[in-house]
Amino acid sequence: MAKMTPMMEQYFEIKKNYPDCILFYRLGDFYEMFFEDALTASKELEITLTGRDCGQKERAPMCGVPFHSCEPYITKLIEKGYRVAICEQVEDPKAAKGIVKRDVIRIVTPGTNVLTQALDETRNQFIMSIFLQDEGSGIAVCDLTTGEFRLTQVENADSLHDEITRLTPAEIICNDAFCISGAQMDYYKEKMGIVITPLAGNWFDAEECRKHISGQYPDLSMESFSEYPFGVIAAGVMLRYLHETQKTSLSHLSDMIPYKISNYMILDSATRRNLEVCETLRDKHKRGSLLGVLDKTKTAMGARLLRKMTEQPLIRKKEIEQRLDAVEMLQDHAMAREELREYMRAIYDLGRLTMKISYQSANPRDLISFKNSLYYLPYIKEILQQFDKGMLHQMARDLDPLEDLYQLIDKAICEDPPVTIREGDIIQEGYDEEADHLKKARTDGKTWLAELETREREKTGIKNLKVKYNKVFGYYLEVTNSYQDLVPDYYIRRQTLANSERYVTEELAELADTITHAQEKLYELEYKLYTDVRDYLASQIDRIQQSARIIAWTDVFCALAYVAEHHNYVRPAINRRGVIDIKGGRHPVVERTIKNELFVDNDTYLDQRKNRISIITGPNMAGKSTYMRQTALIVLMAQIGSFVPARSANIGIVDRIFTRVGASDDLASGQSTFMVEMTEVAHILHNATKNSLLIFDEIGRGTSTYDGLSIAWAVVEFIAGDAMAGAKTLFATHYHELTELEGKIAGVNNYCIAVKEKKDTIVFLRKIVKGGADKSYGI
Ligand code: ADP
Give the helix ranges, DSSP H, for 57-192.
71-79, 157-167, 182-186
pTM for the complete prediction?
0.88
What's residue 352's pLDDT?
Answer: 85
Contact yes or no for 594/572 (Cβ under 8 A): no
Judged against a pLDDT cut of 90, whether residue 11 lies above it is answered with yes
621 lines ligand 1 (CB under 6 A): yes
Measured in degrees and rounded to the nearest 5, phi and psi for residue 283 equal -110, 10
Give, for ligand 1, the residue of 603, 626, 695 to mutate: max count of ligand atoms closer than 8 Å to Cβ. 626
Give, for ligand 1, the residue of 621, 696, 733, 734 to mutate: max count of ligand atoms closer than 8 Å to Cβ. 621
624 lines ligand 1 (CB under 6 A): yes
Interval between CA 696 and ligand 1 midpoint (Å): 16
Measured in degrees and rounded to the nearest 5, phi and psi for residue 598 equal -90, 140
Q: Which residue is closest in CA terms to ligand 1's atom 5?
A: 623
Judged against a pLDDT cut of 80, whether residue 389 lies above it is answered with yes
Select from 550, 151, 225, 215 the least CA-distant residue to 378. 550
Interval between CA 763 and ligand 1 midpoint (Å): 12
Instruction: Please state, in angstroms and rounded to a whole number, the distance separating the CA atoms of residues 586 and 573.
Output: 17
Sheet of strand 474-480: strand arrangement = 466-470, 474-480, 500-504, 492-496
Polymer length in residues for the chain: 779
Instruction: Give percent of the chain with pLDDT exceeding 70.
Output: 96
What's residue 386's pLDDT?
Answer: 96
Beta bridge partners, 574, equal: 651
**What letters, b where the CB count within 10 A reaches 16 and e where it falls short, cover 602-625?**
bebebbbeebbbbbbbbbeebbbb
| Position 5, amino acid | T
Select from 359, 256, 273, 348 the least CA-distant residue to 311. 273
Beta bridge partners, 730, equal: 614, 695
pLDDT tens profile 562-610: 999 999 999 999 999 999 999 999 999 999 998 777 899 999 999 998 9
What's residue 287's pLDDT?
Answer: 93
What's residue 116's pLDDT?
Answer: 67
- Indicate the average pLDDT of the chain: 90
112 lines ligand 1 (CB under 6 A): no
Select from 763, 624, 757 the least CA-distant residue to 696. 624
Q: Which residues have CB under 8 Å from 382's CB, separation 6+?
A: none
Interval between CA 319 and ligand 1 midpoint (Å): 34
Select from 331, 291, 316 the least CA-distant residue to 637. 291
Select from 313, 293, 295 the least CA-distant residue to 559. 295
Interval between CA 589 and ligand 1 midpoint (Å): 12
Q: Which residue is closest in CA terms to ligand 1's atom 4?
A: 621
Measured in degrees and rounded to the nearest 5, phi and psi for residue 606 equal -135, 140
Most confident among 16-30, 85-99, 117-131, 691-705 (mean pLDDT): 16-30
622 lines ligand 1 (CB under 6 A): yes
Interval between CA 561 and ligand 1 midpoint (Å): 27
Instruction: Please state, in angstroms and rounded to a whole number, the distance separating the CA atoms of residues 617 and 52.
Output: 74
Average pLDDT over residues 409-418: 93
Average pLDDT over residues 6-19: 93
Judged against a pLDDT cut of 70, whether residue 506 lies above it is answered with yes
Contact yes or no for 144/127 (Cβ under 8 A): yes
623 lines ligand 1 (CB under 6 A): yes
Instruction: Please state, in angstroms and rounded to a whole number, the distance separating the CA atoms of residues 718 and 696.
Output: 13
Contact yes or no for 692/636 (Cβ under 8 A): no
Average pLDDT over residues 250-262: 90
Judged against a pLDDT cut of 50, whether residue 240 lies above it is answered with yes
| Position 462, amino acid | I
Instruction: Please state, in angstroms and rounded to a whole number, the distance separating the CA atoms of residues 743 and 431.
Output: 84
Contact yes or no for 773/754 (Cβ under 8 A): no
Ligand 1 atom index nearest CA of 593: 16
**What letters, b where the CB count within 10 A reaches 16 and e where it falls short, cover 332-371?**
ebeebbebbbebbeebbbbbbbbbbbbbeebbbebbbbbb
